[in-house]
Structure 1
Amino acid sequence: MTEHDLTLPAIAGKHDYHEFIRGAQAALPVLLGLVPFALVLGAQAAHKGLSVYEVALMTGLNFGGGSEFAAIELWSSPVQVLVIVAMTLLVNSRHLLMGATLAPYLHHLPLSKALPALFFMCDESWAMGLADSRLRARLSLAYFLGVALCLWLTWVTCTALGALIGPTLGDLRSYGFDMAFAAVFLVLLRGMWRGLHAAVPWLFSLLTAALFYLLIPGGWYVLAGTLAGLVSAYLWAKS
């Protein structure tokens, strides 16, 4: 074994460390928008009777804000478990498509590393990971984990904090905290903007989701908007 061989693990480890820090730093602006949104969810869950530990368990195992808000809205006594599970699967179905868009950038990773990392994927870490992967032609696992783990830890901690302090503060939405998610979403869209031509499928997706939201109760607008975006993107590319 040569001296060069001995230094390779150290170089790789140092590179991964810097990539992880780069991801954590990139996540900081998003965290500012995530905190108030998480506090609102925790407070709403507490109003429905969930304990701090139950909120942390829910948000830690099901890392998807949209489905968690839907579950809390449907929470009743007795709890309609099957309805909540079905709605959670429906709202989280977008993760199948999100994972599919990342797949071309994951070929260099073994499943033993890719699958655990994707457990921490959410809308924000997906968008940031995809944007970075397009620049590098592959996903930097350390960068992705730097983003995703920071978001996950912040989300779980702040939803639990919201459950703890929410009952004493009242409805946190009165402070405008619920606008944080919309602000973060617009920032992510700006980072993925590629011009008006590429945005046409976004428009079809938006209009379809809005119509379903207004006309059909439940979370069907998520699936409808996703499918409309895929179909319109395919047809637009063919034209």
Structure 2
Amino acid sequence: MARFRAPAYRTGMRVVFTWAGMWRGVRRGVPLLLGIIPFGLVVGVISLGKGLSLAETLLMSGLVFAGASQLLALELWSDPPDILAVAIAALVVNIRMVPLGAALSFWLNHLRGWRLWSSLFVTVDHSFALSVAEHRAGERDAAFLLGLGILTWMGWVASAGAGHLLGAAVALPPSHPLFFAATATFVAILVALWRGPRQDIPPWLAAAAAALAAQALRLPAPLPLLAGAFAGALLGARMEARAARGARP
């Protein structure tokens, strides 16, 4: 991979895109597999129960690559499936990736062509959280995001396929701890994003309050998730903008 340098931005440091950065992303992403693999196994087991073949499960996992929307799509799956309803449901859930992508602008704004589109394709909540944490720690190689995303994509597809293959032999009850692995992973990655109560508590509380309010109003899934995501993102963006204005000379 040729070394790529983007123009300097406000920190005065240049964004690069190198093989070394990609491999750093791969190595840093290995611990994330502990949460991704159980989640993928669950998706594989459920897809088998919905009548999808192994090839269909692998294709869905490889192209969609989004656990929450895949689970919702499988919930809505019927025989024959209502493709339009399933696609709209997946789109609604994945709208949350819009603010996540905007938050990664410190790297994405400096990429073009295959570097940009491949990085966007493999970006999920896990790689977003870890990339933000690495950037705050001084990482300036945008290939970190791509390497991290490729590893998580491979782990996701492989675990979904394994879940499909093992689903017929292992019948798990709905209360099995395996089904909590995905939730536990999302909670754990918040640790990497923590900067302090002043910066993080307000948007996190706003996200939680909005999601709980939507749930109390009995809004259908995934509206509580979206309400929480956008409430937290909007307040966080407003706080960041205020901080940036205050830091100007």
TM-score (norm 2): 0.83
| 2:230 alignment partner, one of 218, 227, 232 | 227
Deviations 1:108-145 (A, max 9, x none): 3224311222101111011111222233374x233222
Number of aligned residues: 228
Residue pair 1:40, 1:172 contacting (<8 A) in 2 also: no
CA–CA distance in 2 between the matches of 1:210 and 1:123?
Answer: 20
Report the counterpart of residue 102 of structure 1 in structure 2. Answer: 104
Structure 2 gap segments, 5+ residues each: 6-16, 244-249
| 1:88 positional shift | 0.4
State whether structure 2 residue 219 is matched by structure 1 residue 216.
Answer: yes
In the TM superposition, structure 1's runs of 4+ consecutive aligned residues that sit over 6 Å from their partners are none
| % identical aligned pairs | 33
SS at match of 1:98: helix
Match of 2:188 in 1: 187
The answer on 1:84 being equivalent to 2:67 is no
The answer as to 2:165 corresponding to 1:164 is yes
**Contact in 2 for aligned 1:105/1:137 (Cα 8 Å):** no
Q: Which residue of 1 aligns with 2:150?
A: 149
Q: CA deviation at 1:173?
A: 4.6
Task: Show CA shifts across 1:199-230 (max 9, x none).
Answer: 21111111211232341112111221122113
1:46-100 deviation per Cα after TM superposition (whole angstroms, max 9, x unaligned) = 0000011101100100111100000011111231222111110100001111111
State how far apart, in whole Å, the 2-side matches of 1:91 and 1:153 are. Answer: 22
Matches within 5 A, 1:1-40: 16-40=18-42
Distance 1:111 1:137 in 2: 22
Which amino acid is the alignment partner of residue 186 of structure 1? V
Contact 2:44/2:160, CA 8 A, preserved across alignment: yes
More helix by share: 1
**3-state SS in 2 of match to 1:177:** helix
Residues 170 and 204 (structure 1 numbering): CA distance in 2 closer, same or farther, change over 3 Å?
same
